[in-house]
Amino acid sequence: MSEFSLKALPLAGLFSVQHKRFEDQRGHFARLFCEGSLSAFGSEFHIRQINHSCTREKGSVRGLHYQNANAPEAKLITCLRGEVWDVAVDLRPDSETFLHWHAEHLKAGDGRSLLIPAGFAHGFQTLTGDAELLYLHSADYAPEHEGGLSVNDPRLAIAWPLPVNNLSARDSSHPALDQHFAGVRL
């Protein structure tokens, strides 16, 4: 039996990953990533960077962040502690779901991750205090090629489940979309 299964989500290339969990009297074990297994599903993902975040306050939002076409990256997001509402926004201009978003409720211990392809923006809202996420990235961080979108952009109309009560100064400064936004061409 495979270490995990992938479930296609409404935006092309976006997947929910269900990890198989092995339990015994000692506790449990789950493989969070296996390049070969992902390849069998037709998803190429090479880990270049691993990040960990801890967000203290319930209702906080991080994002919406993306890398442009000069440094595109895919992400595999896993909640290690607490609960989050994880959002992916399709920024690929040739996609049928350009500027559509999808959210998944991730919580520690649920055995799920979100696989976000290159060309998407990503953000999340904490549904509990002290939420921790593990991010696996397919590319090195390239600050000169990063971008961000306003979490309250009326054009995206993301329905955050809680009032947005805590944003960093950087994330607060992300612009709303305008008619000149061309997306991320891969």
Q: Which residues are catalytic?
A: 65, 135
For residue 103, is it left (φ>0), alpha (ψ between -120 and 50) or beta? beta
Comparing CA positions, the residue from 122, 126, 119 lying closest to residue 51 is 122
HEC secondary structure over 114-149: EEECCCEEEEEEECCCCEEEEEEECCCCCHHHEEEC
Locate 138 and state its tokens. 């397919």
**How many other C-beta atoms can be found within 10 angstroms of the C-beta atom of residue 47?**
13
Could you give the 3-state DSSP secondary structure of residue 38?
A: helix
